[in-house]
C-alpha cells in the first residue's frame, strides 16, 4: 500500500510515522515552514485556557514516545516567556516542568540578552496563582552567560545553537554553578537546537534546568524539525521538498501533481497542510472572491471549506468574506473536510475544520488518518467526519 502525506508539520509527521508502523510505503511532500516550526514547545489537546478531554489514544502516545522530543504528563506546568505559569499536557523536554518544583526555589538566570528581563519575569511568576498556592519562590540571579558582546542580540535560534557544543555547554554549566545553588534553574529558550542538549546540561548540573516557552519561530520549532527529520530517517519515510498543486482521484487511486509538473500516485492521501496561520489555507484576492469561495487550500483538492461548523458559502456573502461581521479571530476557525464520498482522502491537523489547532489534536488526527487508510484499505476507505 502506498500512502502520500502532504505536509511535514506535526500532523503530517504523525500520519507518516503511523502509516509506516502499519507497513505502508510512505512518501511525504512538503515545502514551506508551518505552524509546527513556530510553536511554543508546550503541548495541548485543547487550547490551555479551556478545559477539555485529557487522555490520548495509545497510537498518539506511541508516536510521542517514538519522536523522543516531548515528555507528556497530565499535570505539567510551564512558564511562558511573558511570565505566566500555565498548564500543559506535555512539552519539549527542554522546557522546565514546574509541577514537581512546587514549594521549592527556582532561580531565573538574569543574562545580558536584550530580549530577556529576568527581574520582570520573576515579578510576574511570583504573582501567579500557582506560585502563591504552592509557596514556590522565583528569584532573579545574575549570570554572565554571553561570551561575546554580539551574543546579546543575535537571533534566539543562533544563541540556542551555541549550546549544542559540549565546550559551550560546560561553560554554561560552570557559570550557573558559580552563581547560585537553587533547587532548579529557569532559563530563556537557549538550550540548543539539538533535542539532547537540555538533558545533557541537566545531567552535568545535577539539578533540574529548563527553558520558558519559545516565541514564534524560536528554538522549540527548530528542535521539532531536527526530531522529525531523524524520525523519517529511522523509519525510512521518503521525503520530497516540493509544493503540491493538485490532489485528484484517478479511478481507485490518487494522483498528486507537484509544482513543475511531476505526478505521484498513491492508494491513500493525507492532506496535512496546516491552517491559515501557516499558509495551508489562503484567503483569495478580493477580485477572485466574486467567482470563488473566499478561503481555499494551498492546493486544489476535493474538499469543502468551513468556518466554525458552517459551510463557507453559508457564511460568506456574494461580496466575499465579511470580516466586519465575523471578526479577525474567525481565522483560527477556518478549515476543510473531504467532500463526502471521497474514499481514501483524509485531512489532519490545523487544516481540519471543527477541531482545535493544537499539537496533540494534530497528532491524534494524523495517526487516525493513517490508521483509516492502512486498516480499511486505502482507496476503499471513507473519509472520517
Ligand X SMILES: Cc1cc2nc3c(=O)[nH]c(=O)nc-3n(C[C@H](O)[C@H](O)[C@H](O)COP(=O)(O)OP(=O)(O)OC[C@H]3O[C@@H](n4cnc5c(N)ncnc54)[C@H](O)[C@@H]3O)c2cc1C
Coil, helix or strand for 245? strand
C-alpha cell at 68: 523522543
Which of 229, 226, 265, 222 is CA-nearest to residue 247?
265
Of residues 3, 4, 5, 8, which one binds ligand X by CB under 6 A?
Answer: 8
Only segment of 33-41, 171-179, 312-320, 370-378 that touches ligand X (CB under 6 A)? 33-41
- Complex with ligand X: residue 169 or 228, whichever CB lies closer: 228
Q: How far is the CB of 10 from ligand X (least distance, A)?
A: 4
C-alpha cell at 35: 505552524
Q: For the residues of 141-207, what is the DSSP string, one character each?
A: EE----SSGGGGSS-HHHHHHHTTSHHHHHHHHHHHHHH---SEEEE-S-S-SSTTHHHHHHHHHSS
280 is an interface residue for ligand X by CB under 6 A = yes
Which of 268, 334, 342, 266 is CA-nearest to residue 301?
342
Q: How far is the CB of 70 from ligand X (least distance, A)?
A: 11
Of residues 38, 98, 118, 316, which one binds ligand X by CB under 6 A?
Answer: 38
Q: How far is the CB of 251 from ligand X (least distance, A)?
A: 23
7 is an interface residue for ligand X by CB under 6 A = yes
Only segment of 105-113, 189-197, 229-237, 349-357 that touches ligand X (CB under 6 A)? 349-357
34 is an interface residue for ligand X by CB under 6 A = yes
Contact 40, 63 (CB under 8 A): no
By rule CB under 6 A, what count of residues binds ligand X? Answer: 37
Q: How far is the CB of 27 from ligand X (least distance, A)?
A: 12
Residues 238-277 that bind ligand X (CB under 6 A): 243-244, 272-274, 277
43 is an interface residue for ligand X by CB under 6 A = yes
Contact 99, 206 (CB under 8 A): no
Helix axes 58-67, 219-234, angle to 10 degrees: 100
Of residues 189, 298, 301, 369, which one binds ligand X by CB under 6 A?
Answer: 298
CA–CA distance, 297 with 309 (Å, rounded to integer): 17
Q: For the residues of 284-307, what is the DSSP string, one character each?
A: PPHHHHTTS-SEEESSB-SEEEEE
Q: For 17, what's the count of Cα atoms within 13 Å in the CB-facing half-sphere?
A: 29
Of residues 2, 3, 5, 9, which one binds ligand X by CB under 6 A?
Answer: 9
x-or-dash string of contact with ligand X, 205-234, rule CB under 6 A: -----------x------------------
Largest alpha-carbon pair distance within the chain? 69
- Complex with ligand X: residue 377 or 384, whichever CB lies closer: 384
Q: How far is the CB of 228 from ligand X (least distance, A)?
A: 9
Of residues 79, 276, 299, 336, which one binds ligand X by CB under 6 A?
Answer: 299
Please report where in the chains the cell 523509519 appears, as a residue. 235
Residue 122's contacts (CB-CB under 8 Å, 6 or more residues apart) are 83, 108, 138, 139, 140
362 is an interface residue for ligand X by CB under 6 A = yes
- Complex with ligand X: residue 9 or 81, whichever CB lies closer: 9
Residue 166's contacts (CB-CB under 8 Å, 6 or more residues apart) are 200
- Complex with ligand X: residue 15 or 173, whichever CB lies closer: 15
Residues that bind ligand X (CB under 6 A): 6-12, 29-32, 34-36, 38-40, 42-44, 216, 243-244, 272-274, 277-278, 280, 298-299, 349-350, 357-359, 362
Amino acid at each position: 500500500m502506498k500512502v502520500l502525506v502532504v505536509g511535514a508539520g506535526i500532523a503530517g509527521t504523525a500520519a507518516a510515522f503511523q502509516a509506516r508502523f502499519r507497513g505502508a510505503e510512505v512518501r511525504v511532500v512538503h515545502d514551506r515552514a508551518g505552524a509546527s516550526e513556530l510553536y511554543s514547545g508546550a503541548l495541548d489537546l485543547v487550547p490551555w485556557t479551556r478545559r477539555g478531554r485529557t487522555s490520548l489514544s495509545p497510537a498518539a502516545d506511541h508516536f510521542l514516545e517514538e519522536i523522543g522530543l516531548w515528555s507528556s504528563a497530565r499535570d505539567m506546568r510551564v512558564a511562558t516567556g511573558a511570565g505566566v505559569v500555565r498548564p500543559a499536557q506535555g512539552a519539549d523536554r527542554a522546557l522546565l516542568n514546574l509541577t514537581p518544583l512546587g514549594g521549592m526555589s527556582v532561580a531565573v538566570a538574569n543574562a545580558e540578552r536584550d530580549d530577556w528581563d529576568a527581574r520582570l519575569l520573576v515579578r510576574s511568576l511570583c504573582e501567579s496563582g500557582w506560585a502563591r498556592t504552592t509557596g514556590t519562590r522565583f528569584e532573579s540571579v545574575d549570570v554572565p552567560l554571553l561570551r561575546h558582546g554580539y551574543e546579546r542580540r543575535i537571533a534566539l535560534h543562533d544563541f540556542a545553537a551555541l549550546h549544542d557544543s559540549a565546550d559551550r555547554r560546560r561553560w554554561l554549566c560552570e557559570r550557573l554553578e558559580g552563581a547560585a545553588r537553587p533547587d532548579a534553574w529557569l532559563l530563556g529558550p537557549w538550550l540548543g537546537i539539538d533535542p539532547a542538549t537540555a538533558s545533557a546540561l541537566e545531567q552535568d548540573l545535577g539539578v533540574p534546568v529548563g527553558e520558558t516557552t519559545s516565541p514564534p519561530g524560536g528554538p522549540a520549532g527548530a528542535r521539532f524539525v531536527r526530531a522529525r527529520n531523524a524520525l523519517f530517517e529511522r523509519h525510512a519515510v521518503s521525503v520530497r521538498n516540493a509544493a503540491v498543486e493538485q490532489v485528484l482521484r484517478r479511478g481507485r487511486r490518487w494522483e498528486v501533481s507537484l509544482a513543475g509538473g511531476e505526478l505521484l500516485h498513491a492508494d491513500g492521501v493525507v492532506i496535512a497542510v496546516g491552517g491559515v496561520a501557516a499558509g495551508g489555507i489562503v484567503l483569495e484576492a478580493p477580485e477572485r472572491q466574486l467567482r470563488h469561495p473566499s478561503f481555499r487550500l494551498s492546493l486544489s483538492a476535493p474538499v469543502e471549506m468551513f468556518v466554525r461548523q458552517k459551510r463557507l458559502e453559508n457564511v460568506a456573502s456574494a461580496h466575499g468574506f465579511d470580516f466586519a461581521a465575523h471578526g479577525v479571530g474567525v481565522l483560527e476557525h477556518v478549515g476543510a473536510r473531504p467532500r463526502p464520498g471521497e474514499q481514501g482522502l483524509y485531512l489532519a491537523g490545523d487544516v481540519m475544520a471543527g477541531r482545535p489547532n493544537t499539537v496533540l489534536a494534530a497528532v491524534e488526527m494524523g495517526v487516525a488518518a493513517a490508521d483509516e487508510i492502512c486498516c480499511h484499505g486505502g482507496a476503499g476507505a471513507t473519509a472520517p467526519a
